[in-house]
Amino acid sequence: METLKLDYYTKKLNTCAFIKLLLYSQLFETESLRAVSDSVFSEKLQKTLGFDSISYSQLSRKLSDIPTQVFKDIFSHLFTQIQRDTF
C-alpha cells in the first residue's frame, strides 16, 4: 500500500484503518457507509482504528481512492492462507 501512495495526504483515515473498519463492518453485517460511520462510537473500535469519529463522506472518498486491485490482492492472499491452513 505504501508503494501506491494511498495515504500521501491522509491525516486521519489511513488505508490500514479503513480496511480494518471495512472488515469490522463486514463481520457485523453493517448495511451502509453511514451505519459504519455511526459504529465508530464504540470505544474499543476507536482505540483499534486510532480515531474517535469519521464521517460518511470521508469513508466514501477513501473507498473511491483505493484501487479495486488492492481488495483483490487482499482477498487472494487470505484465500491462499485459508487453503494452506485447511489442506
41: in domain? yes
2: in domain? no
User: In one letter, which amino acid is 34?
Assistant: R
CA distance 50 to 43: 10
The contacts of residue 10 (CB under 8 Å, 6+ apart) are none
- Residue-wise pLDDT for 62-78, tens only, equals 999 999 999 999 999 99
Residue 46 is predicted with a pLDDT of 82
CB 33 within 8 Å of CB 18: no
Which structural domain, as residue segments, surrounds residue 31? 15-86
29: in domain? yes
Total tally of structural domains belonging to the chain: 1
6: in domain? no
Mean pLDDT of the chain: 85
74: in domain? yes
- The pLDDT of 13-27, averaged and rounded, is 88
4: in domain? no
31: in domain? yes
5: in domain? no
Is a pLDDT exceeding 80 seen at residue 43?
yes
Match 479495486 to its residue by C-alpha cell. 68
| pTM greater than 0.85 (yes/no) | no
